[in-house]
Amino acid sequence: MKAARFDYLRPDDLAGATVALAEGRARPMAGGQSLGPMLNLRLARPGRVVDVSHLPELRRVEARPDGILYGAALTHAEFEDGAVPDPTPGFLARVAHGIAYRAVRNRGTIGGSLAHADPAADWPTALAALGARVHLAGPAETRELAVDEFILGAFETALAPGEIITGVFVPRRSAQARFGYRKSCRKVGEFAEAMCAVLVDRESDVQRLAIGATEARQLVFPAAHDVLRSPARVDDILRDAGLAADPAAFRLRREVVRQAIAALASESQPEGQPA
């Protein structure tokens, strides 16, 4: 289908973007890989689309002592290709490589993925496990939220009217850090049915676990020491979160979480499918 009529604005700077977005029925667009299909299916019918993909603030990379602040409009392909530096031992490239398809990764952006907040998307779960923080700018003020504070539910975020994501800060991890990432899709590139990301950095005693594709906001465990010690605890976590009602889905999620934890040792690639 074709998109319904909308107006298009491309502000030159961040201030212009926040003003343009403050008007009702306005939606920001960067790569358009999530909004585009929704426009074509007429699921989204914004009166105005505000293109933020060219804003200089959203295209920069700023290395800081404790991590890297990425502009929100950097594409998945730029992470996959290592075109931007990585404060982790290659985790970001691994996650990016498993997102949708290359043709989508060439346009889709890290900030767009977070703003869209699809529960089955890769970045919200992976970045929550990596302890990333979302940088926001609005008409009046700028602020910062942890990924798990920013995402409120399925397709729901803490973004206020006129506010946009300017960047994502990913904390630096030691060379000894391990990252286990698994998702289960019916087909490579499809939306995931189960997803889990685990970060362990013994140097700073960080053990974080995030479960995605929950049809709601991600489950995030910032101190997952006991789960990682005794994998039987995975069942309790899923039950407590109400994700055990359907036996088949429960077994799939359990298996994906277990494999993600096991992958900490093997460091295998994120696109692997559960057996």
Partner 1 sequence: MKPIRLSVNGRDIEAEVEPRQHLADFVREELLLTGTHLGCEHGVCGACTVLIDGAPARACIAFPVALDGAVITTVEGLVDDPVTERLRKAFMVEHGLQCGFCTPGMLIMARDIVLRRPGADDAAIRHELAGNLCRCTGYIGIIRAIRAVAAERCAAGEAPVVTRGGAVVPPLHVSPLTLPVAPARLSAVGDERLGRGEDVSAASAVFVPEKLRNPVELVQEFEVPAPRAQVWALFQDPAQVIGCLPGARLTAPSDGRTVNAEMLVKLGPIQAAFGGTGVIAADPANWTGTIDGGGVDRRSATRVQARLVYGLDELPGAAATRVRVEVAYVLQGPLAQMSRGALARDLAARLTAAFATHLAALLRGEAAAAQPAPLDAGSLLLSLVKDWVRRLFRRA
Residues near partner 1 (CB under 8 A), total:
36
CB nearer to partner 1: give 96 or 128: 96
CA distance 134 to 120: 19
CB nearer to partner 1: give 25 or 102: 102
Which of 55, 58, 92, 100 contacts partner 1 by CB under 8 A? 100
Q: Which two tokens stand for residue 146?
A: 């942890």
DSSP 94: H
83 binds partner 1 (CB under 8 A): yes
272 CB-contact burial (10 Å; exposed 0-12 / middle 13-18 / buried 19+): middle
205 binds partner 1 (CB under 8 A): no
16 binds partner 1 (CB under 8 A): no
Chain centroid, CA 49 distance in Å: 22
The one-letter amino acid at 69: L
CA proximity to 117, closest of 59, 181, 165: 165
122 binds partner 1 (CB under 8 A): no
Classified as helix, coil or strand, 154 is coil
CB of 160 to partner 1, least distance (A): 24
107 binds partner 1 (CB under 8 A): yes
CB of 169 to partner 1, least distance (A): 24
- The interface region with partner 1, picked from 4-12, 141-149, 171-179, 259-267 by CB under 8 A, is 4-12
CB nearer to partner 1: give 29 or 93: 29
CB of 11 to partner 1, least distance (A): 13
Which of 51, 86, 149, 235 contacts partner 1 by CB under 8 A? 51
Tell which positions 229-248 bind partner 1, by CB under 8 A.
Answer: none
CA proximity to 39, closest of 73, 4, 11: 4
Tell me which residue has tokens 């993600």: 260
CA distance 11 to 7: 13
32 binds partner 1 (CB under 8 A): yes
Q: Spell out the alpha helix ranges (H) of the chain.
A: 14-22, 35-40, 76-80, 91-97, 102-105, 110-116, 122-129, 147-150, 225-229, 233-240, 247-266
11 binds partner 1 (CB under 8 A): no
CB of 248 to partner 1, least distance (A): 24
Q: Is 215 left (phi over 0), alpha (psi -120 to 50) or beta?
A: left
Q: Which residues bind partner 1 (CB under 8 A)?
A: 1-8, 10, 29, 32-33, 36-37, 39-41, 49, 51, 53, 75, 77-78, 81, 83, 100-104, 106-107, 187-189, 271
